């Protein structure tokens, strides 16, 4: 595990390296981000961004999604994989948002995770990116890999346990942005197969590099 001082320095350096770090999914409306995150499950953000313009043009409002034929939505999201479940969740989620939340995204973890297809990772992303709730911590595959390699957590694989561990050590007001930094750093430098430690700005603080 890293010391509190090391953790703070890792956060500082990565935020400095990726000052514009944000979600790489394209969206215009809050609910579009919610639906895009659902589509991104086991799919790349790049692929999702390729198909959502046509999807959001065909269904331009939450009401349009709620009234949509699921099989038609399937045709738009087919290339994202698991398209039947994703299309079903999107239509059901739109219906629940209109029926129970007046068409607005709820602002709590408890309410968000009651929506069809929404887990803690998605809820944390919405809380952090849309509502800027301090402490919102998105644990995706990059976060799991990097937080373990760097020594921010102690050999944890369970996303909820990692989330809780990171909440204890990250500055709440920076945790959401820091998680976006981990995604960018994981893609650019700290690859799953072969991390490019020679190009890493935090290697001197990294447990994996120290060996």
Tally of CB atoms within 10 A around 121 = 19
How far apart are alpha carbons 211 and 85 in whole angstroms?
Answer: 42
141-150 vs 175-188: helix crossing angle, rounded to 10: 90
Exactly one of 121, 155, 161, 191 is catalytic; name it.
121
The token duo for 104 is 């607005």
29 is catalytic: no
Q: Which among 140, 155, 157, 177 is annotated as catalytic?
A: 140
Residue 191 annotated to the active site: no
Q: Are 78 and 72 in contact (CB under 8 A)?
A: no
C-beta separation of 180 from 128 below 8 A? no
Residues classed as catalytic: 121, 140
């Amino acid at each position: 595990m890293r010391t509190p001082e090391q953790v703070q320095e890792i956060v500082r350096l990565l935020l400095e390296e990726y000052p514009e770090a944000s979600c790489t999914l394209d969206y215009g409306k809050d609910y579009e981000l919610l639906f895009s995150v659902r589509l991104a499950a086991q799919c790349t953000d790049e692929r999702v961004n390729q198909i959502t313009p046509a999807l959001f043009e065909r269904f331009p409002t939450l009401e349009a999604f709620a009234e949509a034929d699921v099989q038609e939505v399937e045709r738009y999201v087919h290339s994202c994989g698991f398209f039947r479940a994703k299309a079903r969740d999107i239509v059901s989620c739109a219906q629940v948002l209109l029926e129970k939340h007046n068409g607005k995204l709820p602002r709590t973890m408890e309410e968000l995770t009651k929506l069809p297809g929404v887990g803690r990772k998605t809820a944390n992303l919405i809380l952090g990116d849309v509502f800027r709730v301090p402490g919102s911590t998105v644990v995706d595959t990059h976060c799991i890999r990097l937080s373990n390699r760097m020594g921010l957590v102690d050999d944890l694989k369970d996303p909820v346990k990692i989330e809780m561990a990171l909440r204890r050590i990250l500055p709440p007001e920076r945790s959401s942005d820091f998680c976006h930094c981990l995604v960018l750093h994981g893609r650019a430098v700290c690859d799953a197969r072969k991390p490019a430690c020679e190009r890493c700005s935090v290697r001197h603080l990294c447990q994996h590099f120290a060996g």
